[in-house]
């Protein structure tokens, strides 16, 4: 699963691939799943309500804190597959 997750990350980072058509919720999902897969559960408390973006990112990550590293990777790949079904054909390792 880790190799497929890395492939998915490389696909998203590769600017030669078509951009994903994502809404803010999906962007938060990608962020939260990435953080959970790479860093584990969030530590500390949520940023101030005045820091809207930082708080939204933290809360999205916090909502997934019970996922294992592997589950977060699997959900990340599933989200990418939903948005770009043929991503594996263009992905580089």
In three-state form (DSSP H/G/I as H, E/B as E, the rest C), the secondary structure along 7-58 is HHHHHHHCCCCCCCCCCHHHHHHHHHHHHHHHHCCCCCCCCCCCCHHHHHHH
- Find the CATH number of the domain harbouring 17: 1.20.80.10
pLDDT over threshold 90, residue 35: yes
Residue range(s) defining the domain that contains residue 79: 2-90
Number of domains in the chain: 1
Encode pLDDT of 58-85 as tens digits: 999 999 999 999 999 999 999 999 999 9
Average pLDDT of the segment spanning 41-54: 96
pLDDT over threshold 90, residue 44: yes
Q: Please tell me the predicted confidence (pLDDT) of residue 91.
A: 81
User: What value does the mean pLDDT of the chain take?
Assistant: 95
C-alpha dihedral (31, 5, 84, 16), degrees to nearest 10: 90
Q: Please tell me the predicted confidence (pLDDT) of residue 92.
A: 72
More confident residue, 93 or 33: 33
Q: Please tell me the predicted confidence (pLDDT) of residue 93.
A: 66
């Amino acid at each position: 699963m880790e190799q497929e997750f890395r492939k998915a990350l490389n696909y998203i980072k590769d600017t030669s691939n078509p951009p994903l058509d994502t809404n803010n919720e999906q962007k938060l999902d990608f962020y939260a799943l990435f953080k959970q897969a790479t860093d584990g559960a969030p530590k500390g408390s949520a940023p101030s309500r005045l820091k809207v973006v930082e708080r939204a990112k933290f809360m999205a990550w916090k909502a997934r804190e019970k996922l294992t590293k592997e589950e977060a990777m699997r959900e990340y790949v599933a989200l990418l597959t939903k948005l770009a079904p043929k991503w594996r054909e263009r992905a580089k390792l």
